[in-house]
Structure 1
Amino acid sequence: MNPDAHKIWLAPRWALAVLLAALGMLGPFSIDTYLPAFAGIAQSLDATPVQMQQTLSAYLFGFAFMNLFHGALADSFGRRPVVLTGVAVFTLASAGCALAGSIGALVFFRALQGLSAGAGIVVSRAVIRDMFPPAEAQRVMAQVTIYFGIAPAVAPIIGGFLFVHADWHSIFWFLTGVGVLLWLANFRVLPETLHSTHRQPFNARNLLRGYWQLGANPRFLLLALASGVPFNGLFLYVLSAPAFLGEHLRLAPTSFFWFFVLNIGGIMAGAWLSGRLAGKIEPRRQIRHGFVIMAAMSVVNVAANLAFPAHVSWALLPIAVFSFGWALMVPVVTLMVLDLFPERRGLASSLQAVIGSLANGVVAGVVAPLVMHSTVALALGSMLMMTVGLVAWLVLNRRWPAAVAAVAASH
Structure 2
Amino acid sequence: MTRDDSIQTAGRTAGETATASAAAPRRTVLLLLTALSVLPVNIYLPALPKIAATFQADFALVNLSIAGYAVINALTEIIAGAMSDRYGRRPVALIAVSIFIVASIGCALAPNIGIFLFFRVMQASIAACFCVALVVIKETAGERQAANRIGYAAMGWAIAPMLGPTFGGVLDEMFGWRAIFVTLALLGAAILAISMRELKETSGHATRPRGNYFASYGQLLSSARFWAYAACMACSTGTLYIFLGGASLAVGTSLGGSSAKLGFFMGMVPAGFIFGSYLAARFARKSLSRTLVIARLSTCMGLLLGLVLSISGVTHVLAFFGPCVFIGIGNGLTFPAANLGVMSVRAHLAGTAAGLAAAMSIAGGALIASIAGLFLEKAGAVPTLFLMLLISASLALSAALFAAFIDRRSANSIADGEPAESW
TM-score range, shorter chain: 0.7 to 0.9
After superposition, the Cα gap between the structure-2 partners of 1:89 and 1:352, relative to the gap in structure 1 and judged at 3 Å, is: same
What does residue 272 of structure 2 align with?
266
Q: 2:207 corresponds to which residue?
A: 198
Q: Quick check: 1:284 aligned with 2:289?
A: yes
Q: How does 1:269-348 map to 2 (within 5 A)?
A: 269-279=275-285, 281-305=286-310, 312-348=317-353
Indicate whether 1:212 and 2:207 are aligned. no
Deviation at 1:83, TM superposition (A): 0.2
1:356 aligns with 2:361: yes
Question: Unaligned stretches of 5+ in structure 2?
Answer: 1-11, 415-419
What's the offset of the Cα at 1:50?
Answer: 3.3
Quote how far apart the aligned CAs of 1:19 are: 2.0
SS of residue matched to 2:275? helix
Residues 90-105 of structure 1 mapped to structure 2, 5 A cutoff: 90-105=100-115
Task: Tell me what 2:23 maps to.
Answer: 8
- Give 1:272 deviation, angstroms: 2.1
- CA distance in 2: counterparts of 1:48 and 1:241, whole angstroms: 28
Greater shift, 251-260 or 289-298, is seen at: 251-260
Question: What are the residue-to-residue correspondences of 1:166-185 with 2, within 5 Å?
Answer: 166-185=175-194
Aligned pair partner of 2:397 in 372, 390, 396: 390
Say which is worse superposed, 188-197 or 243-252, in terms of deviation. 243-252
Deviations 1:271-308 (A, max 9, x none): 222223223x3433322111011112223344545655
Q: CA deviation at 1:371?
A: 5.1
Q: Higher mean Cα deviation, 39-48 or 211-220?
A: 39-48
CA contact (8 A) 1:92 1:176 kept: yes
Which stretch of the first structure deviates more once superposed, 172-181 or 76-85?
A: 172-181
Using the alignment, how far apart are the partners of 2:366 and 2:217 within structure 1? 22
Q: Which amino acid aligns with 2:151?
A: A
| Aligned amino acid, residue 149 of structure 2 | V
Give the structure 2 partner of residue 24 of structure 1. Answer: 34
Q: Secondary structure at the match of 1:81?
A: helix
1:230 alignment partner, SS class: helix
Contact kept? 1:154, 1:260, Cα under 8 Å: no
Moved more, 248-257 or 360-369: 360-369
Partner of 1:234: 240
Which of the residues 196, 218, 243 maps onto 1:187? 196
Per the alignment, residue 108 of structure 1 pairs with 118
Q: Separation in 2 of the partners of 1:234 and 1:48?
A: 30
Residue 51 (structure 1) aligned to one of 49, 56, 61: 61
The whole-number CA distance in structure 2 between the counterparts of 1:360 and 1:113 is 22
TM-score calculated relative to the size of structure 2: 0.82
Say yes or no: does 1:33 pair with 2:32. no
Q: 1:239 to 1:189 in 2, by over 3 A?
A: farther
* Alpha-carbon distance in 2 for matches of 1:196, 1:234: 39
Tell me: CA distance 1:37–1:87, structure 2 relative to 1, closer, same or farther (3 Å): same
Deviates more, 1:287-296 or 1:388-397: 388-397
Instruction: Report the CA distance shift for 1:282/1:344 in structure 2 as closer, same or farther (over 3 A).
Output: closer
Residue of structure 2 in register with 1:158 after alignment:
167
Q: How far does residue 349 in structure 1 lie from its aligned partner after superposition? A: 1.0
What is the DSSP-based 3-state SS (H/G/I as helix, E as strand, rest coil) of the residue aligned with 1:112? helix
Structure 1 gaps, min length 5: none
Is the 8 Å Cα contact of residues 152 and 238 (structure 1) preserved in structure 2?
no
Q: Is 1:402 the counterpart of 2:409 in the alignment?
A: yes
In terms of mean alpha carbon deviation, does 72-81 or 169-178 score higher? 169-178
Local SS of the residue matching 1:80 = helix
Deviations 1:359-385 (A, max 9, x none): 465579887799597453654554454
1:88 lines up with 2:98 in the alignment = yes
CA contact (8 A) 1:157 1:257 kept: no
CA distance in 2, matches of 1:43, 1:354: 33
User: Which letter maps to 2:22?
Assistant: K
AA aligned opposite 1:164? E
Distance in 2 (alpha carbons) for counterparts of 1:155 and 1:142: 20
Residue number in structure 1 paired with 2:4 = none
How far apart, in 1, do the equivalents of 2:378 and 2:267 lie?
23
Q: How many Å apart are 1:196 and its aligned residue?
A: 2.9
Q: Decide which of 221, 225, 230 is 2:231's aligned counterpart.
A: 225
Moved more, 168-177 or 368-377: 368-377
Q: Tell whether the 8 Å contact from 2:37 to 2:128 is kept in structure 1 after alignment.
A: no
Identical-pair percentage = 25
Aligned counterpart, 2:6: none
The TM-score normalised by the length of structure 1 is: 0.84
Distance of aligned partners of 1:146 and 1:210 in 2 relative to their CA distance in 1, 3 Å threshold: same
Contact 1:57-1:365 at 8 Å conserved across structures: no
Alignment RMSD = 3.3
Which moved further from structure 2: 260-269 or 242-251? 242-251
CA shift, 1:127, in A, is 0.4
CA contact (8 A) 1:244 1:372 kept: no
Secondary structure of the structure 2 residue equivalent to 1:194:
coil
Aligned partner letter, 1:64: A
1:90 offset after TM fit, Å?
A: 1.1
Q: For residue 221 of structure 1, report the CA deviation from its aligned partner.
A: 2.1
Matched AA of 1:34: Y
Report which of the two structures shows the higher radius of gyration computed on alpha carbons. 2
Q: Shift in Å at residue 391 of structure 1?
A: 3.3
With over 3 angstroms needed to count, the CA separation of the structure-2 counterparts of 1:93 and 1:232, relative to structure 1, is: farther
The aligned amino acid for 1:62 is I
Could you say what secondary structure the match of 1:47 adopts? Answer: coil
